[in-house]
Structures are given as structure tokens and as C-alpha cells.
Structure 1
């Protein structure tokens, strides 16, 4: 699970029936932001759906995680594109999506062309629950990529919670402690919901850099995006990751 300051967002298939997980073990490193058992495992970024996940590289300002949801459209967290110290948004020219990134290699790359935000998103409210619920952005790319996108799920609250109970939900991203490889926590749960603001609370292991990474539902060969990683909260002494549910941004993506 997470360990952050209270209400601090992260600014941070070849086998039949399941996407590939790389079998080799990784040397232990200090965990950044993950407490208790670290359930993340490395996945093969050359295979789908992991090849459709990549780094959002921000020139001179680090990285976040993004998911290709159309040949020329990437989903990530809005706060990734906001430079809080300067109080300004990044610009598309300085924003790069690198699909299937793995230790300097990648499957495809494009700079951004434009950003599509929730019209009510305010970066000054990024520490508040209502801000977290709107913390998504669609990054339109300069050119389409020849990679199969991950489709958005058609799902409601009950379906999302059922995915968590069934162990079919996963989170994936390029966390600060493993910035060069994509790591996945399989079988994490949607723990609670804030229905009035459409925010998911989950127990997926992730940390800085994994912001904008997808919450996936994986059922055999079928993989869909059910949400995206936005941050973390502490509620009644319990720590949860926060996720923006897919219906918050699905209409914008369809347009």
C-alpha cells in the first residue's frame, strides 16, 4: 500500500489466458512510498497490454505513466502536467509519450499535440477529494502509434467493485523506485468509493511516477481500462490509493 502525507497525490500475451509477467527476479531496492508487503512484479513491456503503457516524459521535470487508449491518444493524470513551483502548465512540445519503455528501449514515441482536461479541474484543488476525482487528462499525440491501444471499459460502480472482489483488477506504472521498468500489482481491490464525487479508493501498490497509470480489469485475454491512478488519501487512519473511474473521462475520449 501507499505511505504519503494525508491527501497528497502522487506527482508523482503470449501465454493463453493472461498477459506476460517476466520470470526473472529483481534485486531488492529500498521501497519508496510502499508500506508492508510489496506486491508489484515486473511485466514484459514488449507484450500487450504492457506495450501500450509507457512513460510520459516531461522535459526537465521527471515523468509519469500513461496508457495508449487510441492510436493517437494517451490517458494520464492532469497533475503530472502542472508545474506547481512555477504555477504553470507544461506545453505539448515538451511532453513525450514513450510506449513500452524498458531501460532505454521503447516500442514507439511521439510528442504531444494538445491536452484535453476536465473543464472543472483546478490544480490548486489537487489535494482535495473533488480535485482528485477530476485529475485526468487526454494527451493527443502528434502522430498515431502502431500499437494496439487498451480500450476503455463500459462499467459502473458495482462492476468496478466486483472486479476488485474477483481479483481481476491490476495497476501498472513506472514508479520512482523502478523508473526504468513497468511494474504491476495484480489482484488489487477497489476498497471504497466516494460516489458523490466519483472517486475510487483502492489498495494497489504504487508510488511517485506511477501517477496516471491505468487501473486495468484483466479477464483472460480481455483487458480494459477501468480507471487511472491519481494519488493517495488517509481515511480514518487507513491509507488508500485514489483512482479516477473510467466514466469520468470516457465521454471526452469518445469525442
Structure 2
């Protein structure tokens, strides 16, 4: 996972019960890795090593088993993409849960204290970025209404243990349908997520700043 962040406009409702369990399953099973890159607009993203790149070496905890996506999962690329902010250069993985709704980590939208605060309206989403490069705006843009189309597990997350991965999730509505297909989402308690992982049924597909940038990586 990536560093924890938090604090935007106070627009999110309170969460309890199923919503919190949904966030826990989402965070533990498939929360995206944050990237430090420099997204441009329609011309595409700056590659590592090019002028303007902000890529730094990332820390990997445990065994680094990242690999190219196995053949049986390649069709999932059309459900996963990059969420990018053109002003702050924040780039995160996001995935489709409906034709016009994506899920990501809430810290991508709400940075921690001391970091530049992004405007929700400045985010763009590009599904299957490595192949399609199409950019979709968020609902409520242009303008200041975009925060009203975000549902988040929390606005402030602990950056020190115990971390709050269970609340590190956000759902975002897009201005137009950008997803041809979507992942089904099911609420699961933490114990069940752990059991599924132990049985080898949990894996991650995500973009990483230090592994084939802008190409999805597979890890277990």
C-alpha cells in the first residue's frame, strides 16, 4: 500500500456497518498503489527519466513478487486505470465498479498534513491507460461540485501504526461512462478477507512507480 493521507472539504457522510465492512474488504483486498509521477493533459504522462519526472525509488515490504499480468487476467485491463491530478501530479490506480463509478484509495484524493491539497475537480481518469489513453472527467466538473460525487471511508487516516487501511477507500462518479466493464463488489469482514488471502484467492493488479510504469503489475 502507499502512505496514508487526509483532510479535504468536509463533505463525506458518516459511515458504519456495511459501508465500513465494504471499505475494509476493498482496502485489504485491492487498494491501489500510489505513484509519484507527472501527469500531463491530453499529450499523455511524462515517463520516468524524462524532464519533469518526479519518480523516486519506492520501498517494498516483504517479497517483491510483482510480475506481468498472467494471460488469464489480461481482459481485466479494461476495468483498471490511472486516476491523476494535473496540478499536484498525484497518480493512483483506480478500478471500475460501474460504467461511470470508479474505486480508489481515499488518500489519493485527500493528502496528509503538509502535502499539497488537490482539488477534486482537477482529477482525470484513464481506463487501461497503456492502451487507450482516453481521459474522463469526474462528475460535477468543470466547476466546484465534484466533491459531492465522492463517497469516502474517511478524510483523515493515521500515518502511524495502527494504520487505518479499512477506511482507505473512495468511490467516485465520472461525468460520463468510461468503463466498458466493471468489477463486482462484495462486502466482506476482515476475517473473511484474511481467510481468502490465505487460500490464495486474493491478488493485486495495480500500477507502480518503480515497476514498468504505466503498465499493470500482478502480485499476490
* Alignment TM-score, normalising by the size of structure 2: 0.60
Please list every run of 5 or more consecutive structure 2 residues that lacks an aligned counterpart in the other structure. 5-32, 36-55, 140-145
Partner of residue 172 from structure 2, selected from 139, 142, 166: 139
Q: Which residue of 2 aligns with 1:112?
A: 138
Measured in 2, the distance between the counterparts of 1:32 and 1:56 equals 19
2:199 paired with 1:166 = yes
Matches within 5 A, 1:59-138: 59-60=86-87, 61-84=89-112, 89-102=117-130, 105-106=131-132, 108-113=134-139, 114-115=146-147, 116-118=150-152, 121-123=154-156, 125-127=158-160, 129=162, 131-138=164-171
**1:91: how far off?**
2.7
Cα 1:101–1:132 change in 2 (3 A) is same
2:206 paired with 1:180 = no
Contact residue 78 and residue 179 of structure 2 kept, 8 A: no
Secondary structure at the counterpart of residue 96 of structure 2: strand
Cα 1:181–1:145 change in 2 (3 A) is same
Please list every run of 5 or more consecutive structure 1 residues that lacks an aligned counterpart in the other structure. 13-29, 189-255
Cα 1:44–1:50 change in 2 (3 A) is farther
Q: Which residue of 2 aligns with 1:27?
A: none
Measured in 2, the distance between the counterparts of 1:152 and 1:125 equals 25
**1:159: how far off?**
3.1
Measured in 2, the distance between the counterparts of 1:157 and 1:84 equals 25
* Aligned length in residues: 161
Contact residue 82 and residue 88 of structure 1 kept, 8 A: no
Contact residue 126 and residue 135 of structure 1 kept, 8 A: no
Q: Deviations over 1:123-142 (max 9, x none)?
A: 26444646432221111101
* Alignment TM-score, normalising by the size of structure 1: 0.53
Q: Which residue of 2 aligns with 1:217?
A: none
Greater relative contact order, per chain length (Cα 8 Å cut-off, separation 6+): 2
Q: Which residue of 1 aligns with 2:30?
A: none
Secondary structure at the counterpart of residue 143 of structure 1: coil
Larger strand share, 1 or 2:
1
Query: Considering only aligned residues, what root-mean-square deviation do their CA atoms show, in Å?
Result: 3.2
Larger helix share, 1 or 2:
2
Secondary structure at the counterpart of residue 193 of structure 2: helix
